[in-house]
Amino acid sequence: MSTDNRPLAISAPEPRSLELIFSKDALLLLHSKYRIVEADSEDIAGLGDDVLGEASYIIGQPPLSKEVLDRMPRLRCILNVESNLINNMPYDVLFERGIHVVTTGQVFAEPVAEIGLGFALSLARGIVDADVDFREGKELWGGDGNAKARQISGSEIGIVGFGDLGKALNRLLTGFRATVRVFDPWMPPSILREHGVQPASLDEVLSDSDFVFVVASVTSENKGFLGGTAFARMRKGAGFILLSRADVVDFEALMAAVASGHIVAASDVYPEEPLSGDHPVRSLKGFIRSAHRAGALDSAFKKMGDMVLEDMDLMDRGLPPMRCKRAERETVSRMRSKPVIRN
């Protein structure tokens, strides 16, 4: 038994690192308040009972079995700094034992919303294509360069999903005086109205919008639910902005809808990452591409560490975590997100 009475935390934050998510000062504070045992996320079971039996916290989202959890009688919380809830542990056991599972994903909401707004502005005003034309000496001046341009101000906008990212996006859109409709089957209509948006069906969001933002998580119920039929419902020339996970769309159907000229699109996520060098989306006209970088800002990563420290301090004092977002018993097992591959 250790004579060090500080709480023990197992650090297995892959694909993150403690240096990525904690500032220098925060990392010093972490080590001063806690005994940190660093471990490979795939080998938690290989840790001795002197570690597992003492551990109060896990920083990361390593795969865990019931047998491993049975060896961890003091575990209070799993602090998921990967931020996607992955079906790699027995959540029912965790909930039965009162062990918190929390995520830090909300740190990405605002930066991802900002790049989404940038995508929409570029699609609306042809900013990327105009820049390329200018570099190549083929620019069109004045009104000649605005044949397909339009404004976001006063437009009709649809949002699919209204979690942290959807709410952040709606806040950014406030100044554009747009009509915002939201489809989210997990969200009560009254909450949507409180945020100043109109509850709507998926068909209404698709067919009545000049721009459609997709910010829904991947679940066991919605994988690939936006396909060819969905894109055909959209207004001709509408913009489709994919910000959450590629698995919610039929990506081949999305590319086909853009290639046909029916819609334009932008995406920060793809079915496989990184993409092969010859993937057809790389050369698809009318499609703005970003390499899963929307939320990957150092400022966002460092907020993760601050949130983790605040919640660990609360739990040390017998209080529930409040800074990170807690996984819900009814929905956590439905999540089907893939873990991120790189920072």
pLDDT in tens, 172-221: 999 999 999 999 999 999 999 999 999 999 999 999 999 999 999 887 67
251 CB neighbour count, 10 Å cutoff:
21
Q: What is the pTM of this model?
A: 0.91
CB 331 within 8 A of CB 186: yes
CB 77 within 8 A of CB 8: no
C-alpha 308, offset from chain centre: 18
Per-residue model confidence as pLDDT tens digits over 52-75: 999 999 999 999 999 999 999 999
44 CB-near residues (< 8 Å, 6+ apart): 10, 12, 52, 58, 62, 63, 64, 68
Least confidently predicted of 24-28, 31-35, 305-309, 329-333: 329-333
Per-residue model confidence as pLDDT tens digits over 82-126: 888 888 999 999 999 999 999 999 999 999 999 999 999 999 999
Q: Where are the alpha helices (DSSP H) in 260-296?
A: none
What letters, b where the CB count within 10 A reaches 16 and e where it falls short, cover 75-114? bbbbbbbbbbbeeebbbeebeeeebbbbbbbbbbbbbbbb
Give phi and psi for 63, each to the nearest 5.
Answer: -65, 135
CB 280 within 8 A of CB 253: no
